Amino acid sequence: MAVVKFMLADEPFLPAVCAKTGRPAEDFVPVHAYRRPPLPAPARWLWAAGAWPGSRRPEARLTVRLPFSPAVGESYRRWRWGVVALAATAAALVALGATVVAVLVPVGSGVACLAALAWWGNLLWHTCAVSCGAGGREVEVSRCHPAFRDAVEGALGSSTPSALRRR
C-alpha cells in the first residue's frame, strides 16, 4: 500500500488510474475527507471517534473525487451483501436463542462479531483512507495502490507537495 499527497486544487487533474487496484479507471467517485486537526496523538484518537469537541462539524468535511475501477465497486457490493447476510443470521440466532434455545445467544453473538469483522475488512480492502490537512488544501490518500501514487506523481509532477512519500 502507498500514501500520496496532492493539493485539493489539483484534484481535477488526477490520472484515470484506480486508486485501489492500479488498473485503468472509468469513473471518479466522491469520497469524504475529514480535516485532521493539529492535535497530539491521544487527542487525535478522540477526534477520530467523534468524542473531541467540534470533531463532527460539517465544515470539517470535504469531498474529493478519486478514480476507481468498476471491479472495485462490484467487489465492494458483493462483500456488502455478505455482511448483511451475516448480520441477519446473527440477529435470527440471537432472537431464536432468546425464545427457544438459550445456547444460540452466544452463537449469534459470535456470528455478529464475524459480521463486524467482515464489514471492517470490506472497508480496508476496497477503500482508501482520505484526509485533509488542517487548512483543507492538502489531501492525503493512504492505503492506495503504488501505481496510483506513481501516476499522480507523474501527472502532477512538481505541483504536488514535497511530502509525496513512498511506503
pLDDT tens, the chain, 167 aa long: 788 888 888 888 889 998 888 889 888 888 877 776 555 566 656 656 665 555 555 456 778 888 988 888 777 777 777 778 888 888 888 887 777 777 777 877 888 887 887 777 766 666 777 888 767 788 888 888 899 999 998 888 754 444 444 43
Residue 102 in domain: yes
Q: Evaluate whether 43 touches 149 at the Cβ level (below 8 Å).
A: no
Residue 61: strand pairing partners: 34
Is residue 167 situated within a structural domain? no
Whether 164 is in a domain gets the answer no
Q: Could you tell me which residues come within 8 angstroms of residue 111 by beta carbon, excluding any fewer than 6 positions away?
A: 86, 89, 90, 93
**Listed residue (122, 81, 86) closest to 94, CA to CA:** 86
Domain count, the chain: 1
- Parent domain of 92: 2-159
What are 67's strand-pairing partners? 28
Whether residue 166 is contained in a domain is answered as no
pTM: 0.64
pLDDT of residue 53: 58
Residue 165 lies in a domain: no
In a domain, 32, yes or no: yes
Q: How far apart are CA 50 and CA 30, in angstroms?
A: 22
